[in-house]
Structures are given as structure tokens and as C-alpha cells.
Amino acid sequence: MKNKGRIQRADSRKTSALTLAACAAALLAGPALAQQKVSDDIVKIGVLTDMSGTYSDFTGQGAVIAAQMAIDDFAKSGTVLGKKIELVSADHQNKADIGAERARNWFDRDKVDVITELVTTSVALSVMEVAEQKNRLALVSGAASLPITNERCNANTVHWVYDSYGLASGTAKAMVNAGKKNWYFIAADYTAGAAMTKDAGDIVTANGGKVLGVTRHPFPNSDFSSYLLSAQSSKADVIALANGGQDTITAIKQAAEFGITGSKQTIVPIVLFINDIHALGLKTAQGLTLTEGFYWNRDDKTRAWSRRFFEKAKKMPSMAHAGVYSSVSNYLKAVEKTGTDDTTTVMKYLKSTPIDDGLFKGQIRADGKFAHDMLLLEVKKPSESTEPWDYYHVRAVIPASDAALPLAQSKCKLVQK
């Protein structure tokens, strides 16, 4: 009986020691286990874009293809941290209320973790607000306005590809330095049109030029005759188009019909995509100067990825398509590296880690701006193009430090001054 008691006490002490050891191990592993967490056991990515409207050619279904390519390239299994990656998509119809409602439903009902693309500034701004309220991520590729990372910034948003400041710092500065001092703006009557007009106008005046006038047109618009006639009569050196997509294409075509193209006045689109050049044709578009964040034919890496995209989309990627691929790729990398899809943790990683994915190279700043080089481009003459979609001369590389609003001038609440 005494031996039995001693055995029981020894077993009890052994059990207690094992229990204490297990508790200690659990305590030590606690932070790591907490980080190895994926909400709802799935990582869900939403592509919210213009599927059928003015901007659908350079965003639309191509954005969905780019996002799926990013998922496939990240893991053949379609998983991260052992959890399934799911892609959903929807058309916001370029309407802020539709975009916001879709975002709420995705976040609340469908458990979407991140929304990407978001062409149309009003849509991007409305979805950003919902993302902040729900503590989810918004990665903007297609919208242009500087306020996204300036006075309207939030901690849940990254502006991935371009903004009105970067476009103006390239195109407007180059044109003024070439002697094109007097400008007249034809602008879409929405937030992005106002932002592009302001930012380009500021660059023009800062470099010794002058803004002679601004006319605003409804969105979308099919007849630019009255606006072009007003611009023509102003005798401005530059007629700047602060719009986008089909509106810009239509305005350029009608300017050619009116004999403005090729005259002493120069048509300058503030934002233009390679898909717009394809729609216009080199005969009409030749000589246009523009700024983009990505060009498929820039180097071996961009060509390799773009040709894979072409196989799926039957067109070369726009900078917005490239931005969707890059944003989704880097989001998934952040989830993998941090061991969680927790919004705050993922964003902290994205802002602290340099990005170099073969399409873009740079750093996400405190204000949510992904600062990377931009390209000053000139559209080739038909005789200069050597293959389909070979449309641009790269005239200059605009360094990230010049292509992004200096943080010292920022109105973003996240920027420490």
C-alpha cells in the first residue's frame, strides 16, 4: 500500500510537471498561434470595377483576369497559409452608391477581406470609407484623384498605380518646358476631372505658364464640339483633356476632325491608357505626349508577364491591369509573411516592406501612396511601330520622388509633420 501511494504521488508530480510544461509551451507559442489566423478560414478578394461603361476597356474583365493571374502565380494550389483563396467580382457602373453598397455586402455578408481596382474616383472614395468603417482593405488601381491619399486618406487604403499629381508632374511639366505655356482645360464634371485640372494647372503656373480657361462637360459625353471650339478660340498652346476612357478617345477624334490636331495647338490628355491608343490608332494618336505608370514593352519582365496576360485577355494590359496584379500579389505575400489576414497587420507589413514584383518597384508611404517611377511617353508614328501594341517611345523616367506629392505638402491625417 505504501509503495502504491508513492507511485501515485510520483505519477501526480509527473502529471503536474507535464501540465506546467504544456502550459508554458502554450504561453510561449501564444503570439505565434494568434498570428496564424485567417478570418472565416478563407482569404476572399473582390474586384470591383467598370464592366461595361466608359472605363471598361482598360479595367473591366481584364482586371479580373489580372487578379486571377496573381492568385495562380502565388500558389498553384490556390491557397495561402493552407486556406483557400477565393476571387469575386462585380460591376459598380461608375456609381458611388452602387460601389458603396456592394462593398458593404461583400464585407458584411460575403466576408471579403480586400477590394481592388476601383476605377472612378467617386466610387473609390465611397468604398474607401466603407473599408475604413469595416476595417478591411481597399487597393485602388484605376482611379486618378490625389485626394485618395491626400485630404481623404485613411489607414485602410493604398493608391497603387497613378494619381493626378503624378500625371501632371510628368506631362504638364514636360509640355511647359517645351514652350507650351498657355493652357485651356476641357474637364469632366466630376472629382477626378477637377483634381486633374487643379494638379496640372498648378504645375503649369509653377513653371511659368498660364491657364486661360476651363470648361466642364457631363460624364459620359459624346459631343465635344462646343468645348473644342471654345478651346480653339482661346488660342491656347495646349488643349488639355482632364477626362478619361471613352470621353478622352471621343474628344481626340473630334479634335482631329476639327483640324486642331496637327495645328499650332497641341492636344494633351492628362490621363491616357494604352487601350485608348489602340482604339484611336497610331495615325490619329501619333505624337501625343502622356504619362503612365506601366508599359508592357519596357523590359523583359514586363513583356513576359504582358504576353501571358494577352493570351488570356486578347489585349495588352493597361497600367490599371498591371496594378491589380501587383496589388493582389503583394497582398497575398503579406498574408503569407505575417501569418494572418488581419487588416492592421497586413497593412503594417505592406507599408514597411519595399515592393519589387517585376512590374512596379517602390515603397508604400505613410499616406497610402505607392510611390514608384512613372514614364513620360510619346506615341509612335505608324512607321515606327515594329509589332502590334508597340505604341510608345519612353522619353523619360520620372523618379518616384518627383511623381508623388511631397509628404511635406500632404494634408493626409496619417502623415507626421
With a cut of 50, say whether residue 18 has pLDDT above it. Answer: no
CATH number assigned to the domain covering 39-162+298-372? 3.40.50.2300
The 10s digit of each residue's pLDDT in 28-66 is 333 344 345 999 999 999 999 999 999 999 999 999 999
> Rounded distance, CA 314 to CA 338, Å?
36
The 10s digit of each residue's pLDDT in 254-313 is 999 999 987 899 999 999 999 999 999 999 999 999 999 999 999 999 999 999 999 999
Mean pLDDT of 118-143: 98
With a cut of 60, say whether residue 22 has pLDDT above it. Answer: no
pLDDT for 261 equals 82
pLDDT for 416 equals 84
> pLDDT band at residue 25, thresholds of 50, 70 and 90?
very low
Pairing outcome for strands 114-117 and 157-159: unpaired
Q: What is the pTM (predicted TM-score) of this model?
A: 0.90
Nearest CA-CA partner of 213 in 188, 230, 192:
230
The 10s digit of each residue's pLDDT in 387-410 is 999 999 999 999 999 999 999 999
Instruction: Break the chain into its structural domains and give their ranges.
Output: 39-162+298-372, 165-293+375-401
Nearest CA-CA partner of 269 in 187, 199, 146:
187
What is the Cα Rg of the chain in Å? 25
165-293+375-401 under CATH 3.40.50.2300, yes or no: yes
pLDDT for 164 equals 94
pLDDT for 36 equals 54
Asked if residues 358 and 302 have their Cβ atoms less than 8 Å apart, the reply is yes
Asked if residues 92 and 123 have their Cβ atoms less than 8 Å apart, the reply is yes
Instruction: Give 165's contacts (C-beta < 8 A, 6+ positions apart).
Output: 146, 199, 403, 404, 405
Q: Is 132 exposed, middle or buried (0-12, 13-18, 19+ CB in 10 A)?
A: middle
pLDDT for 24 equals 40
The 10s digit of each residue's pLDDT in 161-185 is 999 999 998 999 999 999 999 999 9
Q: Return the beta strands (E) in 281-391 as ranges.
A: 289-292, 355-356, 361-364, 370-372, 374-379
* Domains 39-162+298-372 and 165-293+375-401 belong to one CATH topology: yes
With a cut of 60, say whether residue 8 has pLDDT above it. Answer: no
Asked if residues 354 and 348 have their Cβ atoms less than 8 Å apart, the reply is no
Asked if residues 317 and 296 have their Cβ atoms less than 8 Å apart, the reply is yes
